Chains A and B, each alone.
Chain A
Amino acid sequence: MNFSKFPLAEYIDTLLDFLTDHLAWITKGISEIMSTGMDAATDALLAMPSWLFILLVAAAAYKAVGKRMALGTILGLCLLDNLQLWEPTIETLVLVLIATFVAVAIGIPLGILAAIYDGAHRVIMPLLDLMQTMPAFVYLIPAIPFFGLGPVAAIFSTVIFAMPPAIRLTSLGIRQVPADLVEAADAYGCDRRQKLLKLQLPLALPTIMAGVNQTIMLALSMVVIAAMIGAGGLGGEVWKAIQRLQPGKGFEAGIGIVILAMILDRFTSKVGRNKSADQ
């Protein structure tokens, strides 16, 4: 028995080639616009003196969370500034925030869809499993022909990798709204939009925010991988350190990522908790 190999790889290549041939003009266009936008955002943030930026973030942290968070923010960011990692930090921040924004902008509507329609749920959930278990590196390969080397391709693969929790937890949050409340909303004549806006989304908000938080964390975990296709930032510093075998430099940039992760995590998890505390 000697079956010839099933040409799965060939099929996928053919499909991707086809898509590249026919869609590249769109994706390249998106790439142009996005990288211009990202550069502008990065430049704007870098134009600001680092101390001003640190103070602004600390003030926001003080308002949103508290004194300790503000203090931690100042210490962490000052350390990064001192290690001369300011520019990569801002680059990474912009990359992570844009990737998160895109992931959430796509993920929450998909989550709502999966919550409301069982059919959508059945299609989306296995896809999410696939997206999360597929090694993240694999996404890098097709990202390059579509978007070219650079931060936009990095954002593309980051979005795919980081989006599942936003979808999953949005869907979960809406499905977990107690059935008797949904019934009450129906009994008083809510249409679907009213039910969603007045009942389901407000009650699902803490869960959705937990999803957003997870998305940010996953996006941060992608920055080193994304650096391999030229995303730059702190991930780029780590990647350089790996190639030059400079463990010290590697740790410096690694610690930078950790500090960024902690700040973003505290912000988003606090927002979710604040809302749920109202109940």
Chain B
Amino acid sequence: MDTGPEIIRPKMQVRNLYKVFGSSPETALKMLEQGAGKDEILDKTKQSVGLADVSFDVYDGEILVIMGLSGSGKSTLIRCLNRLIEPSRGKIIIDDCDITQLNNIDLRNLRREKFGMIFQHFALFPHRSVQENAEFGLEIQGVPKEKRVAKAREALKQVGLEGWEDSFPGQLSGGMQQRVGLARGLAVDPDILLMDEAFSALDPLIRRDMQHELVELQDRFKKTIIFITHDLDEALEIGDRIILMKDGRIVQIGSPEEILTQPANEYVSRFVENVDMTKVLTASSVMVRAKTVAYPKDGLRTMLHKMRDVGISSIFVVNRDKTLRGLITAQSCKDALESGDKTVADLLLCDIPTTTPDEPVTNLIGRMADANLPLPVVSAAGKLLGVVVRGSLLAGIAEGGLELETTLEHPNEGMAQ
């Protein structure tokens, strides 16, 4: 999971971006450099700090979610990216071009060609039909009529609004209006789609649908999407990576799971404490290291001894390179030693259930409920990475993920190992 999306190259690089609202940003910038806080600066200079030293990369084809509470600077940030708000300092590089240096004409062309933007309150043009709204960006680019009609129709089709072309925005529900907004953005076929709290004004069920559809659209078209939200669940649902902001600064950048399991500081952990962990945790964050393993060369007595040593009732057999071979239970070992006619190979249970490290915990809960044996977590190459037992699963959910070295206080309780 730590690789996140298929990373290729940064589409956009934001470097040391500052925004100060007020008449003399320079004084405020100096104070920021000396480490002054937002409130102190407001007190002393009457300048309001919108963004302070914000740097991050946006990769081609990812959904990057910028999350924060109101006043955290996320809306300022997204507007700086296409200079609807002029940054006070810093660089924004798109395809080797620092867009903070562009003149007005180049800036307009950049907005026309590279960006689509979708707004919280839809911002549809009430005097234009759905079709004309979807055409807007192309019209501004000067695309000929027939071509833009076709493109806009295609975009409307993608968002499921076929047949509504001649309606007016005022006649549509909120969810449908935002689909028009999405179509307006998609119609220009932008490199980067900026979505400013795009689903926040929708009611929860519609919102869920739109989130799923956005992820689906993104799968199909591989657009780079920068998505602003104040809603953690939404960020976790759609984000490949999440940037968490507070007071105009970035607090943490990471995959949803990293944000949840390795919060950078107290603020992040408070932010994430109410999340339904089972949806974001994966097998890798609730597994523990197997206490001991057996090797194919080990005899039955050695295996039984290893199990007794750490107090487990079954043992995984792995090759030297940790490739999982199978499982042997203590009971079968004992029986075989008594009767004396069986070898390790006879006792080995090869066809045991396994799981991958990416498996969401939600799926594991059901499987663990009726299994007596520990669940091995196996990499794509077949190597044993760790085991999930009921205790580790519960502890993982309770604590929001475990370190691999975690030892459980009562390892035998409820464990079949």
Contact = CB atoms under 8 A, between A and B. Distances in A.
Interface of A: 178, 180-181, 183-184, 186-191, 194, 198-199, 202-203, 278-279
Interface string B135-168: 0110111000000000000000000000000001
Contact of B125 (A187, A189, A199): A199
Contact of B123 (A184, A191, A278, A279): A184
Going nearest first, the 5 A-B pairs with the smallest beta carbon separation are: A189-B112, A189-B111, A184-B123, A187-B117, A180-B123
B112 A188 contact: yes
B119 A183 contact: yes
B194 to A, nearest CB: 8
A279 B140 CA distance: 22
Given A188-B111, A278-B168, 15 more contacts: A181-B123, A183-B123, A184-B123, A187-B82, A187-B194, A188-B117, A188-B137, A188-B184, A188-B188, A189-B108, A189-B137, A190-B140, A199-B125, A278-B127, A279-B170
Contact of A279 (B113, B116, B126, B137): B126
Contacts of B141: 189
Contact of B140 (A183, A194, A202, A203): A194
A interface majority secondary structure: helix
Contacts of B188: 188
A178 B123 CA distance: 9
A188 B136 contact: yes
26 contacts: A178-B123, A180-B123, A181-B123, A181-B125, A183-B84, A184-B117, A184-B119, A186-B84, A186-B111, A187-B84, A187-B117, A188-B116, A188-B137, A189-B108, A189-B110, A189-B111, A189-B137, A189-B141, A191-B108, A194-B140, A198-B125, A198-B136, A198-B140, A203-B127, A279-B127, A279-B170
A101 B84 CA distance: 38
A189 B117 contact: no
Given A180-B121, A279-B127, A188 B84 contact: no
A199 B194 CA distance: 21
Nearest to A275: B127
B108 A187 contact: no
A278 B166 CA distance: 13
A199 B126 CA distance: 9
A202 B129 CA distance: 13
B323 to A, nearest CB: 54
B285 to A, nearest CB: 39
B115 A187 contact: yes
B109 interface: yes
Interface of B: 82, 84, 108-113, 115-117, 119, 121, 123, 125-127, 136-137, 139-141, 168, 170, 184, 188, 194
A191 B188 CA distance: 17
Contacts of A181: 123, 125
A190 B127 CA distance: 17
A202 B112 contact: no
A203 B110 CA distance: 26
Contacts of A187: 82, 84, 111, 115, 117, 194
A183 B44 CA distance: 31
Contacts of B116: 188
A177 to B, nearest CB: 10
A189 B109 contact: yes
A189 to B, nearest CB: 3
Contacts of A180: 119, 121, 123
A166 to B, nearest CB: 21
A246 to B, nearest CB: 52
A183 B79 CA distance: 10
A188 B114 CA distance: 10
Contacts of A189: 108-113, 137, 140-141
Nearest to B188: A188
Contact of B168 (A186, A199, A203, A279): A279
A188 B189 CA distance: 12
A278 B127 CA distance: 7
Contacts of A279: 126-127, 168, 170
A278 B112 CA distance: 28
Contacts of B84: 183, 186-187
A278 B129 CA distance: 10
Nearest to A199: B125
Nearest to B169: A279
A169 to B, nearest CB: 18
Contacts of A184: 117, 119, 123, 125
Of the candidates A183, A184, A188, the one having the most CB atoms from chain B within 10 angstroms of its own CB is A188
A78 B119 CA distance: 56
A200 to B, nearest CB: 11
Nearest to A181: B123
B90 to A, nearest CB: 20
Contacts of B121: 180
A186 B123 CA distance: 12
Contacts of B109: 189
Contacts of A183: 84, 119, 123
A135 B60 CA distance: 68
B361 to A, nearest CB: 40
Contacts of A203: 125-127
Interface centre among A178, A180, A183, A189 (most CB of B within 10 A): A189
B278 to A, nearest CB: 38
Q: Which of B119, B121, B127, B188 has the most CB of A within 10 A?
A: B127
Most central of B82, B125, B139, B194 by chain A CB within 10 Å: B125
B186 to A, nearest CB: 13
Contacts of B139: 198
A188 B168 contact: no
Contact of A202 (B113, B117, B127, B184): B127
Contacts of B136: 188, 198
Nearest to A184: B123
A186 B108 CA distance: 8
Contacts of B112: 188-189
A190 B123 CA distance: 15
A203 B141 CA distance: 21
A62 B241 CA distance: 63
A242 B97 CA distance: 77
